[in-house]
């Protein structure tokens, strides 16, 4: 796997090594030793989201007391993934990062703790799978409006 660090601290695009033949393809989507060695993170919860229609916005969510880092992968379809730095005191506070992740490009996005996360569904019948570094806690849940003028997400 190739871990490509992005401009906002802690965000990575992960590209797996893809093996193709006449039958289709194979790739490792997760290997604990690789992710632990590169990111120093353990994942404790997996989530899957199915969206029947395109142009659906999910997020931007973050947790205050029990923040979650997220490893996001698209199993079917496509999304425009968005991460916004909400770490108080960060030099990048309020800045955002976007990436298009699809079932065809097989890329994954790691969004660290302290970022609001969400995405725009680009295709019908999209399935997003993501691993989390902490358990979900409803009491810690917060959000940012996708159209907040201070963040200015396209």
- Which residues are known to be catalytic? 61, 130
Alpha helices by DSSP H, listed for 20-69, are 32-39
CB of 58 closer than 8 Å to CB of 94:
no
Burial per residue of 44-74, b for 16 or more beta-carbon CB atoms within 10 angstroms, e otherwise: eeeeebebeeeeeebbbbbbeeebbbbbbbb
Listed in sequence order, the residues at least 6 apart from 84 whose beta carbon sits closer than 8 Å to its beta carbon are 60, 94, 95, 96, 97, 115, 116, 117, 144, 151, 153
């Amino acid at each position: 796997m190739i871990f490509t660090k992005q401009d906002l601290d802690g965000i990575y695009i992960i590209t797996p090594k893809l093996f193709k033949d006449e039958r289709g393809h194979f790739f490792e989507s997760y290997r604990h030793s690789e992710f632990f060695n590169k990111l120093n993170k353990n994942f404790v919860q997996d989530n899957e989201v199915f969206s029947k229609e395109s142009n659906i916005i999910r997020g931007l969510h973050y947790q205050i007391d029990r923040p979650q880092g997220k490893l996001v992968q698209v199993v079917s379809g496509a999304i425009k993934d968005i991460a916004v730095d909400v770490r108080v005191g960060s030099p990048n506070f309020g800045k955002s990062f976007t990436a298009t992740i699809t079932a065809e490009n097989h890329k994954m996005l790691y969004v660290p703790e302290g970022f609001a996360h969400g995405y725009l569904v680009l295709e019908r019948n999209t399935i997003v799978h993501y691993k989390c570094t902490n358990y979900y806690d409803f009491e810690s849940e917060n959000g940012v409006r996708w159209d907040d003028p201070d963040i200015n997400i396209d």
